């Protein structure tokens, strides 16, 4: 019995702007990402390997705002961040203020497993990536025209934006980036893992660190409770320690995962927060909760059937065959 849930950001295009063709592109990408993680789990792999591989695939896909396709700061550069956590040991790794690491999630895992640290940032983190033999890319690799233009439209203002706020002003294209990515999984041994990766918000301050980098805010995993990955306005998730709060509600109040996740998403209003989260627990139950119009997401529960969704209604795909 395994479960996997993923998100491609709570900054989904408003439904009024979504064409059938564009929706198709996102459903297909989410389905493909699910296949990556499911392949690891079906082969007896660990939840940690499954979430890392899935998030790396999402980072490589320019549709999503992480890795290739990241948002631009108001200084015109990408600053990426990622985190990963192992529910069995509560070891965790995070890497942030990255400009050239192709897959921030791989670096987060190396920090977790090859250093005594949890969080490593900036140039020193990229030097460590080189030492570890991870792939760096020239800054052009991360560039997408739509994301850069989105930043130019906001530059000179104090506004930042999830993609939904920006994309409506842009010409339609299949290449629009669309928010933080993340994955959570439980493997056949009952171990939980979570990972989150982000290219940040468009026109953000250079040097800004968001929830995707912060253990307890945008990511948490604990075998006794759940694995959680968040997306949305990171500051609200930081102030609530949102991912850890879901775990705390399960541990200390005895709530089920879905209820705990819904409560925390509801509380985002207390701090003007918008966004969402995906979670799994040890019984393979899945939670997908958000207070935005849409959240790109997908999941494969214990029945092995992949589902993808953008707004309320979900699409069920044929059982995974890898």
The binder of a second copy chosen from 253, 269, 305, 319 (CB under 8 A): 253
Q: Which is nearer to a second copy, 252 or 322 (CB)?
A: 252
Residue 156 within binding range of a second copy, rule CB under 8 A:
no
Q: Which is nearer to a second copy, 35 or 210 (CB)?
A: 210
Tell me the closest approach of the beta carbon of residue 19 to a second copy, in angstroms. Answer: 32
The dihedrals phi and psi of 240, each to the nearest 5 degrees, come to -95, -5
Q: Which stretch binds a second copy (CB under 8 A): 28-36, 183-191, 212-220, 281-289?
A: 212-220
- 180 assigned to active site: yes
- Cβ(241)–Cβ(225) under 8 Å? no
Q: Which residues neighbour 17 within 8 Å (Cβ) at sequence distance 6 or greater?
A: 167, 168, 172
Residue 248 within binding range of a second copy, rule CB under 8 A:
yes
Residue 92 within binding range of a second copy, rule CB under 8 A:
yes
Place of tokens 């990766």: 197
- Residue 189, burial from CB neighbour count under 10 angstroms (0-12, 13-18, 19+): exposed
Q: Which is nearer to a second copy, 10 or 34 (CB)?
A: 10
Q: Give 317's strand partners.
A: none
Distance CA 243, CA 240 (A): 8
Q: Which is nearer to a second copy, 57 or 128 (CB)?
A: 128
Tell me the closest approach of the beta carbon of residue 125 to a second copy, in angstroms. Answer: 5
- Residue 166, burial from CB neighbour count under 10 angstroms (0-12, 13-18, 19+): buried
Active-site choice (73, 180, 231, 292): 180
For 150-196, the DSSP string reads HHHHHBTBS--B-HHHHHTTSPP-TT-----EEEEEE-TT--EEEEE
In three-state secondary structure terms, 112 is helix
Tell me the closest approach of the beta carbon of residue 47 to a second copy, in angstroms. Answer: 17
Applying CB under 8 A, the residues found at the interface with a second copy are 75, 90-92, 94, 96-97, 115-125, 127-128, 158, 160, 204-210, 214-217, 220, 234-235, 238-241, 244-245, 248-249, 252-253, 270-271
Any idea which residues carry the catalytic annotation?
Answer: 180
């Amino acid at each position: 019995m395994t479960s996997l849930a993923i998100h491609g950001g709570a900054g989904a295009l408003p439904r009024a702007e979504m064409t059938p063709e564009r929706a198709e592109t996102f459903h297909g990408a989410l389905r493909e990402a699910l296949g990556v993680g499911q392949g690891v789990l079906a082969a007896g792999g660990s939840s940690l390997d499954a979430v890392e591989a899935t998030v790396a695939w999402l980072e490589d896909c320019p549709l999503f705002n992480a890795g290739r396709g990241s948002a631009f700061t108001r200084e015109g550069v990408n600053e990426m961040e990622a985190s990963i956590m192992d529910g069995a040991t509560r070891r965790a790794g995070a890497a942030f203020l990255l400009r050239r690491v192709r897959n921030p999630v791989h670096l987060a895992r190396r920090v977790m497993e090859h250093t005594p640290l949890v969080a490593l940032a900036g140039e020193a983190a990229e030097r460590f990536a080189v030492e570890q033999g991870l792939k760096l890319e020239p800054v052009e690799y991360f560039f997408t025209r739509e994301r850069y233009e989105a930043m130019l439209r906001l530059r000179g203002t104090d506004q930042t934006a999830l993609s939904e706020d920006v994309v409506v002003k842009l010409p339609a294209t299949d290449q629009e980036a669309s928010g933080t990515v993340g994955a959570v999984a439980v493997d056949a041994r009952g171990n939980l893992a979570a990972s989150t990766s982000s290219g940040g918000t468009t026109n953000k301050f250079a040097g800004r660190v968001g929830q995707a980098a912060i253990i307890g805010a945008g990511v948490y995993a604990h075998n006794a409770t759940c694995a959680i990955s968040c997306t949305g306005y990171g500051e609200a998730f930081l102030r609530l320690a949102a991912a850890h709060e879901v775990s705390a509600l399960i541990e200390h109040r005895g709530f089920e995962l879905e209820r705990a996740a819904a409560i925390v998403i509801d509380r985002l209003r207390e701090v003007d927060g918008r966004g969402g989260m995906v979670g799994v627990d040890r019984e393979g139950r899945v939670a997908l909760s958000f207070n935005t119009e849409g959240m790109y997401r997908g999941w494969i529960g214990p029945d092995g059937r992949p589902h993808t969704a953008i707004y309320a209604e979900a699409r069920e795909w044929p059982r995974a065959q890898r």
